[in-house]
Chains A and B, each alone.
Chain A
Amino acid sequence: MKRKLIAAIGVVGMLAGVAACGSGDDGDAKTGADGFKGQTLTVWAMDGSTPDGWTKDVTAAFEKKTGAKLKFEVQQWNGIQQKLTTALSEANPPDVFEIGNTHTPAYAETGGLADLTDLKKEIGADWTESLNESSVVDGRQYAAPWYFANRVVIYNKSVFKEAGVTAPPKTRDEFFKALDAIKAKGKAEPVYLPGQNWYFFDGLLIGKGADLVKKDGDKWVSNLADPKVGEAMALYKKYADYSKAPKDKDEATPQQADVFAKGKTGAFFGMGWEAATAIKANPAIEKEIGYFTIPGDTADKPEGVFLGGSNLAVAEGSEKKELAKEFLKIALSDTFEGQLAKEGGVIPNKDALQDQLAGNAAAEAAAPAAKVGGTTPLIPEWAAVENAPSPIKAYMTAFLNGKSHAEAAAQVEGEFNKRLAQKQ
């Protein structure tokens, strides 16, 4: 029966094997198309993660296939950590939830995430290895890679043109030359870069091959004093010196796209969709916006980027784990993963779907860098380091305010190590 249903919907044929999924590890929840009738699966997605069309189509496909209801609950960013932690301790946690890749190892360690190793075997053979890394802890799969994004240069074409730069820079040197030209022209701020855009800095670290943590015996400790970190920070400063942005704020206050929208900024480092924020603030800016990959040493080797991303996890406390897995199989299928990439302009979890990004200028600019992208250290201890007030941001501000790399690193290393050593 189930076979027929699936065939009828025409979802990827390979899913047919799923019929034998009733492993019974979730107690009395019944499986099979009929078994799910009357149940409701709750999915937490972060604000901005789920484009309308995708949500509608996935819901329809899920409900048709399983007979169960699907409820998306959009979560706000404010206080999400406390919300998620407490929710996972409840009798009725969200069955499936979106979780940032940098947070996944920490949550995997808490026992709050269900083991998805068998699901990976079933549908994850072609997941991009580097994107799947954050979901794997001690050889077990605790989440499924969902979508990824990395920063690009979003620039104002007419500002560049006025300064005599007609083609987007291909190398870092060309980029700096362009910024010099804009500066010389004196009519616009060449680039907007506040002092604490830490994920952009992480990209530069990745570009330099610098590591933020190192192993000391069986403990992780700060590696901030490494000269390579200093090199990356010096490069950051070189960019930041073109900007009048505050040295102790991040890109959210004020929202960098709002600043850019005024038309007096040459470029900023942002996610492709931040352009939409700028356009909302000032529709006239739309025709001026262009994108290019953050350039590196040479044209064929872009700058390193932080691959921000979201995984989908199943709550260990969920009573509907089988249904949750059904959802993952649908949501992560080529059809819908592709649709999400196309609609949201985000990098999908497998290379084969990259072609969905064609025609999306921002995503096309992002894609080349994704190959050289990286993340934050994927260790459970890491999440604590990024909690506000972040010692890394403090380091960045100290450096930009004139401290040497060694001084700035020394200033925050105590806090950094304390965070890494926190009891779990």
Chain B
Amino acid sequence: MTVQTERPPARPTEDTQRADGGPHPRGARRRPAALAPYLLLLPAVVATLLLLGWPLVKNGMLSFQNLNMRQLIQHLTEWNGVDNYTEVLGSSDFWRVTGRSLLFTATNVVLIMVLGTLTGLLLARLGRRMRVTLLIALVLAWAMPVIAATTVYQWLFAQRYGVVNWLLDRAGFHSMADYNWTGDQLSTFFVITVLIVWQSIPFVAINLYAATTTIPKELYEAAALDGAGAWQGFTSVTLPFLRPFLYATTFLEVIWVFKAFAQVFAINQGGPDRLTEILPVYAYIEGIGNQHFGMGSAIALLTIVILLAMTSLHLRIVLKQGEDEL
């Protein structure tokens, strides 16, 4: 399982080869098929516009309506201008939740990327048998259904019948025997973070491992000839080679962690006292849970805007890349 990379792993060698390869034959064939790329993209674009674009537009329209149970049931359209937006943007809750979401995403993504990368590099160092064992273990964690994972975690960290408290108690931390993990904001976030990191590491680690296997051995040999030690080999060969991959993976993890609704909601419904609500949970509680659908739509759109802002750097890099990158 690999993520898209702006410069896929096998590229560097390829680029060198091509640079030496003289004029490219492909220009000649392009003209007759000028429409071809558009035709090839057409089905996917149409599907996306129809099945994602349309709901987004609809969602946008709903965000300017007063849409609650009554209006939904009776098919009433009550426009209320920008009321939903003024209410959301004017509430301190929203901004607190947004700040919390950013912090939450940053923490988790950093943890996931660092631990995932280390695990991936570890995979590359292991002997075959141990590597396969670890790969299977990672895959098991990854494939566990979210609802099962959240239930199991809820219960591993349960105050009274939880395995974690039991283990801590046995290990000598008797004050932890009845520790209430969901009792305050930080410890709840701790449990959620453990869950999310646990679920996300396999993706990063396996991909990273797959990417390292594509690093040509010659590069290391050349580096060794230049007198590079293990650490320099890592910084001068491995890291540059993996950089595009790391960018792309980080981009994906930012999106996924930011949108992590199921995990956060299941562990403690955004509690205690709404202190662990992140944006999608907030949108859900205000919009769907409270059946204030217009309000929910407005928060959903704001969520997209914030996500766009967060990833704009990456998107800009992609947009700015020269055509010759390809």
A, B assembled together:
yes
- Measured between beta carbons, the chain B residues less than 8 angstroms from A247 are 180, 183
Scan residues 144-159 of chain B and give those whose CB is less than 8 A from a CB of chain A.
Answer: 154-155, 158-159
Q: List B contacts of A112 (CB < 8 A).
A: 69, 73-74
Given contacts A85-B291, A109-B70, contact A246 B272 (CB under 8 A): no
B15 contacts A by Cβ under 8 Å? no
Number of interface residues of A (CB under 8 A): 36
If A389-B269, A423-B292, A424-B68 touch, does A248 touch B73 (CB 8 Å cutoff)? no
With A244-B160, A248-B180, A424-B69 known to touch, is A388 a contact of B74 (CB < 8 Å)? no
Give the complex CA separation of A291 and B22 in angstroms.
Answer: 91
Which chain A residues (63-88) contact chain B, with CB distance < 8 Å? 81-82, 85-86, 88
A422 lies within 8 A of chain B by Cβ: yes
Contact A246–B160 (Cβ < 8 Å): yes
- Check: B202 CB closer than 8 A to any chain A CB: no
| CB contact between A244 and one of B68, B154, B178 (< 8 Å): that residue | B178
Contact (Cβ within 8 A) B272 A107 = no
A384 in the interface, Cβ–Cβ < 8 Å? Answer: yes
B160 touches A394 (CB 8 A): no
- Is B126 positioned at the interface, with any CB of A under 8 Å from its CB? no
Q: Chain B at the A interface: mostly helix, strand, loop or mixed?
A: loop
Q: In the bound complex, what is the Cα–Cα distance between A387 and B274 (angstroms)?
A: 13
A111 to B75, CA, bound (A): 11
Tell me, in angstroms, the Cα distance from A49 to B290 when the chains sit together. Answer: 25
CB distance from A162 to the nearest CB of B (A): 23
Chain A residues contacting B272 (CB-CB under 8 Å) are 248, 394, 397
Q: Known: A244-B178, A248-B182. Contact between A422 and B292, CB under 8 A?
A: yes
**Closest residue to A316 on the B side, CB-wise?**
B73
A246 touches B292 (CB 8 A): no
Q: Is B270 an interface residue, CB under 8 A from the partner?
A: yes
Q: How far is the CA of A398 from the CA of B274 in the complex (A)?
A: 13
Q: Are A89 and B289 in contact (CB under 8 A)?
A: no
Interface string of B148-188 (1 = CB under 8 A from A): 00000011001111000000000000000010101100000
Contact mask for chain A residues 392-424; partner B; CB cutoff 8 A; 1 contact, 0 none: 001001100100000000011001000100111
Please report A residues at the B interface, Cβ cutoff 8 Å.
Answer: 81-82, 85-86, 88-89, 106-107, 109-112, 244-249, 253-254, 317, 384, 387-389, 394, 397-398, 401, 411-412, 415, 419, 422-424
Instruction: For the A-B complex with A85-B291, A394-B271 known, give 8 more contacts whose Cβ atoms are closer than 8 Å.
Output: A112-B74, A247-B180, A248-B183, A254-B161, A389-B269, A394-B272, A422-B68, A423-B66
Interface pairs (10), CB distance under 8 Å: A85-B72, A88-B73, A89-B75, A111-B73, A244-B178, A246-B158, A247-B180, A248-B272, A384-B291, A389-B271
